[in-house]
Structure 1
Amino acid sequence: MTGPTPTLDDERDLGTRFHDLMEVVVRWLPIGLSRVVAPSFLGFALINGFTFGVDLLLLTLFRSGLGLPVPLAFTIAYVLAFGLSFVLNRALNFRSHAPVGPQAGLYAVAITINYLAFILGVGSALTEFGLQYHLSRIVAGACEAAFMYSVMRWVIFRDAKN
């Protein structure tokens, strides 16, 4: 026996519940951080922390498991993880209801810039300089986090009321 099919309202409720939880957690942040950390930033950090873990898991599978070259392994893992990030951030964190097509186009431009600058640029360069590929991906990830949050909040999902 299966339950009722989820509706669009159920998805919106899930996004609202996620945002409400982020607001509660932000209020509990120490040393005045609650005045400077937006709930959408905390949501972004949680969602993208999760998808970054997915990225590293896939990277390990593609590089160590399948033996793909580092740039190819970075690329495939990156595209899959960032697709998941887009869906989760749109639905849960930014709760955007704008047409998905233009947002997906802007997101594609943002991740292309991010990919070239941070993933291939920083990540591959650090690997070439001898840093272990997981560590180089983590350093590149720190750079991309600041860029992607800014682009998602103020460009891609600017319709959201955060």
Structure 2
Amino acid sequence: MSDHEKDFGQRFHTLMEVVVRWLPFGLSRVVAPSFLGFAIINGFTFGIDLVLLMMFRSGVGLPVPIAFTLAYVLAFGLSFVLNRALNFRSHAPVGPQAGLYAVAILINYLAFILGVGSALTAIGLQYVLSRIVAGACEAAFMYSVMRWIVFRDTKGQ
């Protein structure tokens, strides 16, 4: 990781700390800056996921499971890079982290993307709404895995 990336990661984390301090209703005592950073980064990458999903499904005409898969893999690759560099600011070797992340996204993919997303589509919910519901389920799972397993070297920053 270059010095510029480290500086940008530190500025991102500092901004998350400032924003968390201003949260209302006592939320500043329970919301970690890394959770806010995760929400912002993954909100952005989820938007990318939805755009790609619509391109692959409605634009190209791919079947729902294939469209879900391609969009998911691309968006989660971006999420890994951004969370590692900006949010968790990890300096551990990337190889083992990428391996743990791959296992986590495989579990997440099978349980939430294909399981929940495809099941909801199969029972008649529109595919983008199905993906949004599945996304809400995966958010809690993925934050937990990233904070306490994949990027555990950051000590809960």
Instruction: Tell me the TM-score normalised to structure 1 length.
Output: 0.95
* Aligned match of 2:141: 147
Match of 1:58 in 2: 52
C-alpha separation in 2, matches of 1:25 and 1:135: 30
Out of 2, 15, 30, the position equivalent to 1:8 is 2
| Paired amino acid for 2:81 | V
Residue equivalent to 2:12: 18
| 1:111-150 map, 5 Å | 111-150=105-144
Determine which of 81, 92, 98 is the counterpart of 2:92: 98
Check if 1:71 corresponds to 2:65.
yes
Q: d(CA) in 2 for partners of 1:105 and 1:15?
A: 22
Residues 9-55 of structure 1 deviation map (CA, whole Å, 9 limit, x = unaligned): 11000000000000000000000000000000000000000000000
1:57-87 per-residue CA deviation (whole Å, 9 max, x = no partner) reads 0000000000000000000000000000000
| Structure 1 residue aligned with 2:83 | 89
Over the matched positions of the two proteins, sequence identity in percent amounts to 85
Provide the aligned length of Structure 1 versus Structure 2.
156
Once the 2 structures are TM-superposed, how far is the Cα of residue 100 of structure 1 from its aligned partner?
A: 0.1
Of structures 1 and 2, the larger Rg is shown by 1
Q: Which residue pairs with 1:157 in the alignment?
A: 151
- Counterparts of 1:160 and 1:71, CA distance in 2: 35
Match of 1:29 in 2: 23
State TM-score, norm by structure 2: 0.98
- Counterpart CA distance in 2 for 1:8 and 1:104 is 19
Instruction: Please give the alpha-carbon distance, in whole angstroms, between the structure 1 residues aligned to 2:142 and 2:128.
Output: 20
User: 1:19, 1:105 → 2: CA distance?
Assistant: 25
2: CA distance between counterparts of 1:76 and 1:134?
14
SS at match of 1:95: coil
**Deviation >2 Å, runs of 4+:** none
Q: Return the alpha-carbon distance in structure 2 between the equivalents of residues 9 and 76 of structure 1.
A: 33
Q: Which runs of 5+ in 2 are unaligned?
A: none
| Superposition deviation, residue 147 in structure 1 | 0.1
